[in-house]
Copies of this chain bind each other. A is one copy, B any other.
Amino acid sequence: MNNHPVSIDRPWEAESQTAFLQKSGHGYRVGIPEKKNFFKEFSFAFRETFFHDDPLYHYKDQPRRKQFWLGLQSFFPILGWGRHYNLKKFKGDLLAGLTIASLCIPQDIGYAKLANVPPNNGLYTSFVPPLVYAAMGSSRDIAIGPVAVVSLLLGELLKHEINPKKHPEEYLHLAFTATFFAGITQVALGFLRLGFLVEFLSHAAVVGFMAGAAITIGLQQLKGLLGIKNFTTNTDIVSVMHSVFSNAHHGWNWQTVVIGMSFLVFLLTAKYIAYRNHKFFWLVAVAPLTSVIVGTFCVYITRVDKDGVNIVRHLDKGINSSSVYKIYWSGPYLVKGAKIGILTGIIGLTEAIAIGRTFATLKGYQIDGNKEMMALGVTNIMGSMTSCIVATGSFSRSAVNFMAGCKTAMSNIVMSLVVLLTLLLITPLFKYTPNAVIAAIIINAVVGLIDIKAAARIWKVDKLDFLALLGAFFGVIFKSVEVGLLIAVMLSIGKILFQVTRPKTALFGNLPRTNIYRNVEQYPEAVRVPGVLIIRVDSAIYFSNSNYLKERILRWLRDEEDLNKEHGLPRNQHLVLEMSAVTDIDTSGILELEELLKALKKLYVQLELANPGPLIMDKFLAANYVELIGPEHIFLSVDDAVAYCTSKFKATENT
């Protein structure tokens, strides 16, 4: 905290100050950028913040008709790629669409369970949302539908408000309300160009969060896999394991265990084969549907459901009904639904954008984050009105989509049509599907969310990042998804703040026979200049670090003086601050630099500044710091500053 009641007040003499700035050996002065007025400065910052991607670039110098067409196309990319669509592309999309459809049907049923809604609503979510997204989205590879993590989060949050067993109708209405607001949130973030808020979740935190969520979801499946009836409603690992083991003696159903385990082994084996040999990737897609068919058939024949094997049971024929009037448009549930929607909407976005970007990079095309958000938002708004829960891009299905050779968002349309046919014709058959098979399929799907390679890489590159990963991971598995998410966000932001609070400083030395100065720790060849201490500050100087930096610089000086005394070297008479990396300074920073100047004066050390940037010079002038330090002590480069110092030494020697 830097509060100075006594403020320094000098006349505003920018012109006279700059005239005295030192010229370098080659005749250059430290540059003063043109004075921008406040409005210009503000509009520049505003543009960089919200419109850094220059969205109107493509409209420049185009006739009005073309501009309209481009505008329409930017909202409905299908108008763009649809015109060049051909049979060859359709072949790829058809195959990919059929593959992801076979994958999504059993997953949908399982994810609906995670969200505590009837399995029908899971399937509905794979019908309408993919169609809307196909028209509006710009990713060619993403597969839209319900996903594990978002469904789990949705289910957990909704459960706190309404008991899904006691009031299933109200619960479902709240789910649609949340879905509606998830969509609104996504559209709003995109429209207000606040997409960058999503970036406040660091890569490491997301890896940890996803792994934790995968394990939590996997643990939830133990209920279905082991046929436990009295399962805990908590999701943390302690409650779940307690629930599992306290039921071990009489709560498990052996027929269920046999079915579940054998299909799980089958699915994991298929995955392993596909992983070892990419030619067999279709196994990943086909195995789940095969499991469902075989499992259902077995139960239908043997009727083990009468022996306690749980089956899906409730699954109706028919497509999505309108749910416009089921959304809470008023009352206390409106607010609650909105809150849940905002959270699930943001998590959904995070996942969709990550997937979209990854595959766009692999194929070498660009996706526009803000537009993607709007597309996904409209998708969810339409979904909420047609009995769907929150939809987003699925990691596992998008990867399969990509590997199966999808070309455009048409594969989503194909998938959607297959789901439509399923809903119209064969859903009743799924009634006999054992829950254990669904559980096995979900466990198999979420295993892919645990990215051990990424975690290892993070450990190798950045230990602090790894800490954020662990925090999010343990938060999810030991407490709950929300807590893990909160920890992930807090650690991500905390890390930034920490780095800004304790920036690095380094001692600089000269590389012999050059005019280059570098960090002596990085370049052992660099030698110090006698009598001149060169310190580089590696960060913008803000209120949060200005006092630390001042004290750290004084400590450098003290420690170096101790060394000089020890070795009988001359004391440092000049302290050169290398300011290349000081990209900005605020009022607190300038106040601390003033104090540094005073403190150094007491020690008979002269402060010299090398290479201050445009923003710094601007603020130094505004705050009269240039006059305070003396313009002759501001240099274009460290080399110039050192030349000045040594010339002073010589002058003293001669007198």
Query: Which A residues fall within an 8 A CB radius of B?
Result: 1-7, 9, 24, 26, 28, 31-33, 38, 41-42, 45, 48-49, 52-54, 57, 196, 198-204, 206-207, 210, 350-351, 353-355, 357-358, 361-362, 364, 369, 395, 399, 448, 451, 453-454, 457-458, 460-465, 492-493, 495-504, 511, 513-516, 518-519, 521-525, 538-540, 542-545, 547-548, 551-552, 555, 558, 580-581, 583-584, 586-588, 590-591, 595, 598-599, 602, 613-615, 617, 619, 622-623, 636-637
Contact = CB atoms under 8 A, between A and B. Distances in A.
A196 to B, nearest CB: 6
B511 A203 contact: no
Contacts of A581: 580-581, 583
A139 B598 CA distance: 18
Given A204-B587, A461-B586, A497 B501 contact: no
Nearest to A551: B53
A598 B644 CA distance: 45
Q: How many copies does the complex hold?
A: 2
A2 B53 contact: no
A492 B1 CA distance: 11
Contact of A203 (B591, B602, B615, B637): B591
Contact of A499 (B354, B492, B540): B540
B544 A496 contact: yes
23 contacts: A1-B353, A1-B354, A3-B207, A3-B354, A3-B358, A31-B518, A38-B463, A52-B551, A53-B551, A57-B558, A199-B548, A202-B542, A202-B544, A203-B588, A357-B547, A461-B619, A462-B586, A464-B586, A495-B542, A503-B583, A538-B613, A580-B580, A581-B581
B460 A622 contact: yes
Contacts of A622: 460-461
Given A3-B206, A52-B552, A503-B583, A461 B543 contact: no
Given A202-B542, A357-B2, A555 B54 contact: yes
Contacts of A547: 199, 357, 369
A460 B623 contact: yes
Given A522-B33, A586-B204, A358 B196 contact: no
B587 A458 contact: yes
Contacts of A9: 453
A584 B555 CA distance: 23
Given A53-B555, A358-B5, A463-B42, A587 B203 contact: yes
B28 A544 contact: no
Nearest to A8: B457
Contacts of A637: 516
B619 A492 contact: no
Given A364-B598, A623-B457, A41 B198 contact: no
Contacts of A538: 583, 613
A460 B8 CA distance: 13
A525 B514 CA distance: 23
A255 B179 CA distance: 65
Given A3-B358, A48-B502, A586-B204, A602 B543 contact: no
Contacts of A357: 1-2, 547
Given A31-B523, A203-B1, A539 B358 contact: no
A471 to B, nearest CB: 15
Given A26-B514, A357-B2, A525-B28, A543 B203 contact: yes
Given A3-B203, A52-B548, A53-B555, A587 B457 contact: yes
A461 B516 contact: no
A28 B519 CA distance: 13
B502 A493 contact: no
Contacts of A26: 511, 513-514, 516
Contact of A453 (B7, B206, B355, B551): B7
A209 B2 CA distance: 13
A348 to B, nearest CB: 12
Nearest to A516: B637
A198 B540 CA distance: 19
Given A4-B361, A5-B448, A504-B584, 5 more contacts: A5-B358, A48-B502, A49-B501, A52-B551, A499-B542
Given A53-B555, A353-B1, A584-B499, A613 B543 contact: no
B202 A586 contact: yes
A458 B4 CA distance: 12
Given A1-B353, A31-B519, A542-B202, A7 B451 contact: yes
A580 B611 CA distance: 12
A506 to B, nearest CB: 8
Given A496-B496, A497-B496, A587-B204, A1 B198 contact: yes
A492 B199 CA distance: 20
B199 A1 contact: yes
B203 A2 contact: yes
Contacts of A503: 583
A490 B87 CA distance: 56
A284 to B, nearest CB: 14
A45 B498 CA distance: 11
Contacts of A504: 583-584, 615
Given A523-B28, A586-B204, A361 B595 contact: yes
B399 A5 contact: yes
Nearest to A623: B461
A543 B492 contact: yes
Contacts of A196: 501-502, 544, 548
Nearest to A457: B7
A602 B514 CA distance: 37
Nearest to A358: B4
Which of A204, A453, A462, A521 has the most B CB atoms < 10 Å from its CB?
Answer: A462
